[in-house]
Structure 1
Amino acid sequence: MASSNFIDYVKINCRSGAGGAGSVHFRREKHVPKGGPDGGDGGRGGHIILRGNAQLWTLLHLKYRKHVKAGNGVAGEGGRRTGAEGEDVILEVPLGTIARDPESSEKLAEITEDGQEIILFAGGRGGLGNDHFKSSTQQAPYHAQTGEPGREEWVILELKLLADVGLVGFPNAGKSTLLSVLSAAKPEIADYPFTTLVPNLGVVAYRDYKSFVMADIPGIIEGASQGKGLGLRFLRHIERNSILLFLIPSNTEDVRQEYNTLLNELREFNPELMDKTRILAITKTDLVDDEALERIKNNVPKKVPVAYISSVSQRGLDELKDLIWHNLTTVEPV
């Protein structure tokens, strides 16, 4: 899909429906010239509802829908007939979508399951008809309630991709190539930085018909947490990954330093990312000889599982998948 079609942030104006007014009405039938009050209640206004849809992976369909308006409730009628409810508006969104208040950034709703529905803004309640206000001292009330107004608010919808494994690395670390080899995903691949401009998802097949989802995030650069490069825009997608797979090329001058730089950018963006399981993959091992590879092994960070791979020659990929699967099945999903 074209990069311009990946939309993970939209701001829309929502207005839920107003409730219908209650009715002032009195029973009038043959031989009953002065019946009691029988005004019905107004119908409630329409809700603005978020619904999860596993078939969606972008907010593109909402990009140009700047105003969303639910229907108003219908006024009540005589004979204690309640007015019809206003028509709800259902906004279908990808799993991992968060609704936020644009002023305070408060989280209003979060969609994580297919078919999950959350009322984002409720419609106004319908007013009570005059039937509710009769009493022994007021047998012919001439008043009823007006319906409650709806809510009109701006809201931000923000998508954070749901994946088991998130690929973390500088541009040209081999993230897109790895994803294309392990899955059926077809990200753009080229020998220059920032080839990947949008996140890509791929399903990786494992043994015995098992599988896991891998996300290729656009390359981070030093200073991404302060807004440099493309990193800041897409770092939030890493927050939903159970495992962070760091990719560092074998021809890097200092593997340990590059790993620490990447780690620092994630820490600056969100310290909670430090609690996630981390795996390190040394990529492009087909470009170095055995002696250079031994030097790398002596310089890798301690206490982090390491795999040595080459996507081009298919070296070490099975071992990497085993390592990922072991960690996925021994840690709780985030």
Structure 2
Amino acid sequence: MATHESLETFDLVVFLTVARAGSFGTAARELRLATPSVSARIATLEHKLTTQLFARTARGSTLTPAGERLVPYARRCLDLLGEAHQAVGTEASSRLILAAPASLGTELFPPVLKILSDSSLQAHCRVAHSREVIDLLLDGTADIGLVINQAFPASITAHNLCRSRLLTVSHPRHPLAEQPSVSIDALSTSRIAVYRWNPDADILAEIFEYPRRPPERPVQLLGLPSVAIELAIKQDYVAIIPEFAAVDSLRAGTIVELSLTLPRWSLDVQLAYRREAAQTNAVKTLLANADAIAAGIQQD
């Protein structure tokens, strides 16, 4: 079996600081170290990994492709160590690491935290893309995840919370808001913002990419439905977003649903966890309250 030199935790801290700061000198000032010390630690890390992590130039330091690949792993290692410190002295069965994409976390973290708090259980929330949430479950960094339209490996169990249809919305004064029927062709000259829940959304966006679409009327793909709603309200966009993200704005009257339906498209909101975590108090509590959690992201 291959052996690897152990990595120092602080070397990973230094690495991430340099990656964010863009220079060894700036990172040294932030860490209150001498610049040669930062350089020496990065050199040691590069030696242990047998690869160059930064390209040094007169203007600063930029990540090499290998450095870019290391960034998420370094962050996860440090996050996991931080959570280990927090876990000491806490019953494992009463503690939950919950991960979700920002689009779901905005809606679900508050009711989930209340459910756990009412049961005297502790929770720590993390934000990651749906695919990254599955990776966090697989490596044990998260105990339970909330994701959208994902396939799972055999070691992960998934529970479908609800299905959320995609809505086409605009601000109430948009020219299409008064139309009794809106077709896809009618959006050919509208600015469009499509929520990108995963690569399937690229296919949806292509439906609106007409060859002669004016450049000032783009089709934008966005990772957060809230940003699409802001564009609809403030910049005259038509937004295509999941129903769970539109509820509050529809109730407030800041957006309205257009009559265009997209019958092929809906999003499954899924609760996922590692099989060995199924018997923990926290996971059992969330599963027992799955209907209440789903109600928090469905329109009344």
- TM-score normalized with structure 2 length: 0.27
Bigger helix fraction:
2
Higher Cα Rg, which structure: 1
TM-score of the superposed pair, with normalisation by structure 1: 0.25
